[in-house]
């Protein structure tokens, strides 16, 4: 029906399924960008799908981080006792592609003519860094964000869950229901904002959590955005696109890998320039 660029990925939408592919290729095969994986593609696909359908549950295969996917989309993960079958499922491929499909839908993979050939040396270096970083024995010297700490903040980190009292919007939320002197309700903030300031840290100056990949990436770029709902936030720029940063430039927030240690990936929202 339609193919578009969505959150940095190639997305093809059909009534019964959505195909999400990485725009990057290496030796003729679709490969993930520097901070993408099947989970990030699946989240992008589900968020697009939610514009058209209600998705009460989704089942995910091994290789997709169910907790992060659910936290980022708000869609519960299908459990056996939820019914006979999940109405929606995430399907993976050998290449950097996922399909979000109604169960039993007939899926036809479209040809998408956007192919960005990655630099082989860069691609292999990033892949090797992730393999090392994802090792269960890899414990970086980074400021430790434990699994429970990650899970506790997952809805605010991955879905921009904040608080509003009507007059004040606060994000990340506080362990208090009083904001600006008034009782506050939960809300989800829009994933867009404008650049208030930015920096690019040299690899030598980057936090040690990123010490394996920052040299390959040539440093880390961080923006402070004023979100459309008011609060400010700091976000890494996506790793797999170059953007010319400028004050007031419009950015969208997309779901990507942040870093890994002890065998599990911490995901988060990263900023990506809006080109429209």
Partner 1 sequence: MKCFVLVPGNMVDVAVVGAGQTKYGNHPLGLKGMWAEAAAKAFSSVDGDFDPAAVEEAFIGSLAFGGSQLGNTAALLTEHSGMDGVAVRRVENACASSGFAFRDAWMAIKSGQADVVVAGGIEKMNDLTPERKRYWLGVSGDTEWERLAGLTFPGTYALMARRYFHEFDATHDDLVHVSVKNHLHGSMNADAHIRKEVSFEKAAGGFMVADPLTLYDCCPTSDGASCVVLAADHLAHKFTDTPVWVKGAGAASDNLALHDRPSITQLKATQVASTKAYGMAGLDARQIDVAEVHDCFTIAEVLATEDLGFAQRGEGGRFAREGEGRLNEGATTVNSSGGLKSKGHPLGATGTGQVVEVFKQLRGQVEKDRQVRDAETALTHNVGGSGATCSVHVFGRER
CA–CA dist 40, 46 (Å, integer): 10
Which lies closer to partner 1 via its Cβ, residue 87 or residue 215?
215
CA–CA dist 276, 265 (Å, integer): 31
CB of 171: closest distance to partner 1 in angstroms? 9
Which lies closer to partner 1 via its Cβ, residue 8 or residue 268?
268
Other Cβ atoms within 10 Å of 56 Cβ, number:
13
Nearest Cα to 199, choosing from 227, 232, 224? 224
> Token pair of 11, please?
């997305």
Helix H segments across 8-146?
38-49, 66-73, 120-133
Which stretches does DSSP call E strand in the chain?
Answer: 2-6, 9-13, 17-21, 24-26, 29-31, 88-92, 97-102, 116-117, 161-164, 169-170, 178-179, 182-183, 185-188, 192-201, 220-227, 232-236, 250-261, 264-273
Which lies closer to partner 1 via its Cβ, residue 183 or residue 208?
208
CB of 30: closest distance to partner 1 in angstroms? 27
Which lies closer to partner 1 via its Cβ, residue 48 or residue 191?
191
Q: Which residues bind partner 1 (CB under 8 A)?
A: 140-145, 149, 153, 172, 196-202, 204-211, 220-222, 224, 231-236, 247, 258-259, 266, 268
CB of 200: closest distance to partner 1 in angstroms? 5
CB of 214: closest distance to partner 1 in angstroms? 8
CB of 222: closest distance to partner 1 in angstroms? 5
CA–CA dist 41, 21 (Å, integer): 7
CB of 162: closest distance to partner 1 in angstroms? 12
Which lies closer to partner 1 via its Cβ, residue 45 or residue 231?
231
Which lies closer to partner 1 via its Cβ, residue 144 or residue 186?
144
């Amino acid at each position: 029906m339609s193919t578009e660029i969505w959150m940095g990925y190639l997305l093809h939408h059909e009534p019964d399924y959505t195909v999400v592919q990485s725009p990057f290729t290496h030796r003729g095969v679709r490969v993930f960008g520097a901070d993408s994986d099947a989970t990030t593609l699946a989240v992008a696909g589900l968020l697009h799908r939610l514009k058209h359908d209600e998705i009460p549950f989704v089942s995910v295969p091994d290789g997709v981080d169910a907790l992060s996917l659910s936290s980022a989309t708000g869609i519960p993960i299908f459990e056996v006792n939820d019914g006979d079958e999940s109405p929606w499922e995430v399907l993976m491929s050998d290449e950097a592609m996922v399909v979000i499909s109604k169960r039993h839908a007939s899926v036809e993979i479209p040809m998408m003519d956007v192919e960005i050939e990655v630099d082989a040396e860069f691609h292999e270096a990033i892949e090797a860094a992730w393999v090392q970083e994802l090792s269960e024995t890899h414990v970086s010297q980074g400021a430790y964000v434990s699994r429970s700490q990650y899970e506790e903040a997952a809805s605010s980190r991955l879905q921009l869950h904040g608080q509003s009292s009507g007059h004040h919007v606060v994000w990340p939320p506080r362990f208090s229901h009083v904001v600006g002197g008034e009782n506050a309700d939960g809300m989800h903030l829009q994933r867009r904002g404008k650049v208030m300031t930015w920096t690019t840290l040299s690899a030598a100056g980057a936090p040690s959590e990123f010490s394996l990949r920052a040299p390959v990436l040539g440093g880390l770029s961080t923006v402070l955005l004023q979100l459309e709902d008011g609060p400010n936030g700091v976000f890494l720029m996506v790793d797999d696109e170059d953007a010319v940063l400028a004050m007031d430039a419009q950015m969208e927030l997309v779901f990507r890998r942040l870093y890994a240690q002890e065998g599990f990936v911490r995901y988060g929202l990263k900023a990506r320039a809006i080109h429209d």
